[in-house]
């Protein structure tokens, strides 16, 4: 479980997150949605500790993460996996080296054990043919899948995904969404996904938090979202012509 | 003025992070070997080309300038040796490497910053500063002095070639000049200077790359700043080290 309590974050005097409190449970896919510039990426980066909050607290299970020093945060971070918008694979390393890096640095496993784990993770994301390819040789979908393999290689308890579908076609997006959801269920991970892709919301949004101008505006499940009478949420959800037509049909 | 002190403070904090205990020495060893090839071995060609021509030109200039019946010809070889060992092979080569290696480091780390690769390392619990910067510093501080020795040898050979090919002076006299009043301390002085310069180039360039933000334009700016600031720092350090080691 990850919990944010009354968090506030400002940049150069501009308040980006305004007193947000939210709880994300383990074993379910939690989605943060909102328009570009609404503050959802900042919220995700605050949750993961890449930005320090100005006020409020962030809890990983019962541990107050926001007050921990560097060394104790480092210990928690070994339980954290993150998939970045652009994949953030190390350019100078192959897919295999990227996935193996956390094992090399933080485990005392033998080379055979490490390779077994790397092979398993790459197979899990259907990249068992791409061991020796460099990130520049991969397609957008393959980069995301390699990033997922790297994120899960240490068996994380918390998984953060920043717009995992951006730049992908709808079919590949569904593959990535389902993969993240399957991994979440399989390992009972607390997964938080930052997205503005409505397909993802309807496909895997077990808990959805809508951020509007730095405030938590609405929360519920993908089943509730279509019936919600929140104007800003409806404007966001039914923004596309296709969604408007679908709303007319149903 | 405030920004200068702020930058010095941030640089100091970064170096503290860089020199904190590495996660696993074996991984660092592999990375040091990789960086030694990328930053050191790959600079041999450039160092060789520049050194051979400068050695030749210095010999030519000395031969023209010192053309006098009162100055023995071997002084040309002596002067060329002194120029190559004392200043060219360390200071000038360091300035050239600040351009080549410094911009490479700043743009590489800067790109890693803006494409979130550094954030990814931090999320994994890796000390990104130490993982990325320490191997570069260790490899250059170790390897650049060898480049300095290489530069001395190639430069002096360039001078000899100039003397032999053009006949501007007697090559035997050139060799005599190379041996004249030779003290091994001069070599040590040049190597110590080069080790300091290697640290300056790598750490300052890494600093500008590490704190780059924004887009590719900012990375380009960081790369330029890295070269300018390391060049100035090299000149200041050269003055201080010369005062300390030669007087």
Within a 13 Å sphere around the CA of A16, how many CA atoms are in the beta-carbon half?
19
According to the model, what pLDDT value does residue A176 have? 87
pLDDT one-digit tens code per residue, A41-63: 999 999 999 999 999 999 999 89
Cα dist. B103→A53, A92, B206, B218 in Å?
A: 34, 17, 9, 13
CA distance B27 to chain A (A): 7
Residue, of A196 and B51, whose pLDDT is higher:
B51
Element (H, E) at A62: none
User: Comparing C-alpha atoms, which of A66, A51, A156 is closest to residue A102?
Assistant: A156
Q: Are A203 and A174 in contact (CB under 8 A)?
A: yes
pLDDT given at position A247: 65
A210 φ, ψ to 5°? Answer: -100, 120
Return averaged pLDDT per consecutive 10 residues of chain B, 247 residues in all. 89 94 83 94 96 95 88 92 94 96 96 94 91 96 96 96 91 93 92 97 97 91 96 96 88
Q: Are B91 and B195 in contact (CB under 8 A)?
A: no
Determine, for residues B119 and A77 on separate chains, whether the beta-carbon distance falls below 8 Å: no
Closest CA to A126 of A61, A176, A53: A176
Q: How far is Cα A194 from Cα A197, in angstroms, rounded to an integer?
A: 9
Give, as one character, the DSSP assignment of residue A197. Answer: -
- Cβ contacts of B122 on chain A, cutoff 8 Å: 50, 77
Number of C-beta neighbours around residue A126 at 10 A: 14
> What is the predicted ipTM?
0.85
* B117·A91 Cβ contact <8 A: yes
Outline where DSSP puts E strands in A75-206: 80-83, 158-162, 190-195
DSSP annotation of A67: G
As a whole-number percent, the residues of chain A with pLDDT over 90 amount to 57
pLDDT of residue A246: 66
CATH number for the domain whose boundaries are A24-50+72-79+157-250: 3.40.50.300
Entry pTM: 0.88
Q: Strands (DSSP E) along A25-147, which ranges?
A: 29-33, 55-60, 63-64, 80-83
Q: Mean per-residue pLDDT for A126-152? A: 92
Instruction: Please state the domain extents for chain A.
Output: 24-50+72-79+157-250, 89-155
| CA–CA distance, A98 with A80 (Å, rounded to integer) | 16
* Element of type H or E holding A74: helix A70-77
CA distance to partner chain B, nearest, from residue A6 (Å): 23
The two tokens of residue A119 are: 């092979």
Interchain CB distance below 8 Å, B116 and A80: no
Secondary structure element (H or E) that encloses residue A16, with its range: strand A14-24
Question: How many Å apart are CA B116 and CA A114, to the nearest integer?
Answer: 25
Q: Tokens representing A218?
A: 């609405």
Burial of B69 (0-12, 13-18, 19+ CB in 10 A): exposed
Cross-chain Cβ contact A88/B117 below 8 Å: yes
Residues A169/A176, Cβ–Cβ less than 8 Å: no
- CA dist A189 and A81 (Å) reads 10
Using a CB–CB cutoff of 8 Å, tell me whether B117 touches chain A.
yes
Distance from CA of B108 to the nearest CA of A (A): 10
Closest among B55, B39, B149 to B97, alpha carbons compared: B39
Tokens 């002596």 locate to: B78
Question: Cα–Cα–Cα angle for B75, B78, B79, nearest 5°?
Answer: 85
Instruction: Please choose, from the candidates A56, A28, A25, the residue with its C-alpha nearest in 3D space to the C-alpha of residue A214.
Output: A56
Least Cα distance to A98 among A138, A137, A50, A149 occurs for: A149
Q: Give 3-state DSSP helix, strand, coil % of chain B, rounded to 5.
A: 85, 0, 15
Q: Give the integer Cα–Cα distance in Å for B220 and B104.
A: 11
Residue A225 — pLDDT band, cuts 50, 70, 90?
A: confident
Which residue in chain B has the smallest CA separation from A77?
B125
Which value, in Å, is the radius of gyration of the alpha carbons in chain A? 18
């Amino acid at each position: 479980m990850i919990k944010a309590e009354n968090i506030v974050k400002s940049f150069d005097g501009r308040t980006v997150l305004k007193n947000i409190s939210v709880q994300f449970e383990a074993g379910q896919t939690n989605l943060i949605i909102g328009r570009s510039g609404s503050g959802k990426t900042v919220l995700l980066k605050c949750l993961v500790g890449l930005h320090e909050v100005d006020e409020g607290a962030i809890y990983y299970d019962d541990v107050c993460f926001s007050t921990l020093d560097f060394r104790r945060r480092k210990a928690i971070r070994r339980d954290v996996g993150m998939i970045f918008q652009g994949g953030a694979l190390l350019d100078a390393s192959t897919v295999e080296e990227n996935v193996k890096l956390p094992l090399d640095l933080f485990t005392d496993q033998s080379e055979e054990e490490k390779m077994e784990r790397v092979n398993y993770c790459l197979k899990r994301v259907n990249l068992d043919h791409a061991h020796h390819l460099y990130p520049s040789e991969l397609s957008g979908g393959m980069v995301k899948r390699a990033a997922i393999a790297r994120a899960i290689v240490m068996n994380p308890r918390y998984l953060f995904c920043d717009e995992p579908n951006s730049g992908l076609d709808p079919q590949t997006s569904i593959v990535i969404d389902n993969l993240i959801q399957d991994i979440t269920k399989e390992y009972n991970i607390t997964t938080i996904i930052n997205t503005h892709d409505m397909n993802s919301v309807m496909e895997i949004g077990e808990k959805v938090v809508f951020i509007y101008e730095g405030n938590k505006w609405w929360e519920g499940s993908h089943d509730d979202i279509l019936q919600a009478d929140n104007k800003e949420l409806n404007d966001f959800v039914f923004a596309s012509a296709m969604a408007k037509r679908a709303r007319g049909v149903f | 003025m405030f920004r200068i002190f702020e930058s010095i403070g941030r640089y100091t904090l970064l170096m503290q992070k860089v020199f904190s205990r590495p996660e696993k020495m074996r991984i660092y060893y592999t990375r040091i070997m990789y960086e030694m090839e990328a930053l050191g071995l790959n600079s041999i060609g450039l160092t060789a080309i520049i050194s051979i021509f400068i050695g030749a030109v210095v010999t030519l200039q000395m031969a023209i300038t010192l053309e006098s019946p009162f100055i023995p010809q071997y002084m040309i070889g002596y002067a060329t040796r002194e120029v190559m060992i004392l200043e060219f092979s360390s200071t000038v080569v360091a300035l050239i490497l600040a351009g080549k290696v410094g911009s490479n480091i700043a743009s590489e780390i800067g790109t890693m910053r803006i494409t979130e690769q550094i954030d990814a390392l931090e999320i994994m619990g890796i000390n990104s500063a130490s993982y990325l910067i320490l191997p570069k510093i260790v490899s250059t501080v170790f390897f650049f002095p060898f480049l300095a020795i290489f530069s001395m040898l190639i430069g002096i050979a360039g001078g000899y070639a100039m003397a032999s090919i053009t006949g501007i002076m007697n090559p035997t006299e050139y060799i005599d000049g190379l041996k004249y009043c030779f003290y091994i301390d001069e070599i040590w002085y040049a190597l110590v200077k080069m080790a300091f310069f290697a640290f300056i180039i790598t750490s300052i360039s890494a600093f500008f790359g590490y704190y780059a933000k924004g887009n590719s334009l900012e990375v380009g700016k960081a790369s330029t700043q890295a070269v300018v600031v390391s060049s100035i720092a090299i000149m200041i350090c050269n003055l201080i080290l010369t005062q300390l080691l030669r007087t």
